[in-house]
Amino acid sequence: MITRKKEHWFLMLFIWRGSVIPKILPRLGLLLIVAVLVALFRETLYHYNMHLNPTPFTLFGIALALFLGFRNSASYERWWEGRKAWGAILNTTRSLARQSYTMVDGAADRTLFINYLIAFTHSLKHQLRQTDPGDDLDRLLPADTAARIRSAQFKPAILLKEMGGWIQTVRTRGVLDSPRATNLDSNLNILSDMLGTCERIASTPIPYSYSVLLHRTVYVYCFLLPFGLIENLGWMMPIIVVFIAYTYVALEAIADELEDPFGLLPNDLALDAISRTIENTLLELDGRPLNPTPEQENYFLT
């Protein structure tokens, strides 16, 4: 995720790092070449009547902007829902850690439960990014438990089961009474809901046919635009066409990044940083030393 303070309005016109320009620059370069060729051979185009009336481009551009706006709104809604889910995970794990500290006597029991919470956070991050959680499981859990979790397909769900088993164990031993056990289990249900929310976002993208239609329409519009503007703009046409195309292509590129908020692209959620924050706040609640936070590089948090 890009974390950068806003610069002066004039300096923001020239910001490169943190924008989508590096990603779309080859496409804009190709469009610039096409526009320059159209301007260069405009007399030939006039001779064969290959120029277009600009009026349809104006009307169609408005409609295309509305469709792109809808696409960006849908993608941002997915991004924001994912961020709210991880905010709820932070709040709920804090509540569970606090409850375990005030309701359960026995430092070893509390430490194990808090490690379960930290392992759940990291395993969910790895599941969403389809990476290996083995190192985090090994450092947080007993060897036999870590081995059992590693062999599971849905590791966060199994960790919720382990935490439920922990609650049952301490209740059976008389360390925790039934009403307090019910309170802890209610918060586990919230974690289960947030797990399901993240899985739903990750497994249900925006319909592919809709994305393909919008993608084709944007590029067909942009590459036909030089033929519609050459008669009125002359040699200024390539500059105007590239600027218009930058708006449409950049909006589509941003929507593509936001559609899957759990990846590693610059505009995706910083799950590594969020997971470290959750781990450190739980460690602090348990009275343990915090892990060092790595320095941020290139305005990006992963």
Q: What is the pTM of this model?
A: 0.87
Q: Does 51 score more than 70 pLDDT?
A: no
Residue 295: the pLDDT is 67
CA separation (Å) from 183 to 54, 119, 141, 223, 278? 66, 21, 24, 60, 21
Percent pLDDT > 70 in the chain is: 94
Residue 229: the pLDDT is 84
Domain contains 249: yes
Q: What is the pLDDT of residues 52-67, one digit of tens each?
A: 777 777 778 888 888 8
Residue 299: the pLDDT is 64
Domain contains 144: yes
Residue 42: the pLDDT is 81
Percent pLDDT > 90 in the chain is: 46
Sorting pLDDT into bands at 50, 70 and 90, what band is 8? low
Q: What is the pLDDT of residues 217-272, one digit of tens each?
A: 999 989 989 988 888 888 888 999 999 999 999 988 888 888 999 988 888 899 99
Name the domain count of the chain: 1
Tokens of 97: 């850690």
Block residue for tokens 């408005």: 62
Domain contains 291: no
Domain contains 302: no
Total Cβ atoms within 10 A of residue 206: 16
Sorting pLDDT into bands at 50, 70 and 90, what band is 300? low
Domain contains 37: yes
CA distance linking residue 219 with residue 24, whole number of Å: 12
Q: Which amino acid is at 270?
A: A
Domain contains 294: no
Domain contains 159: yes
Provide the domain limits for residue 250.
20-285
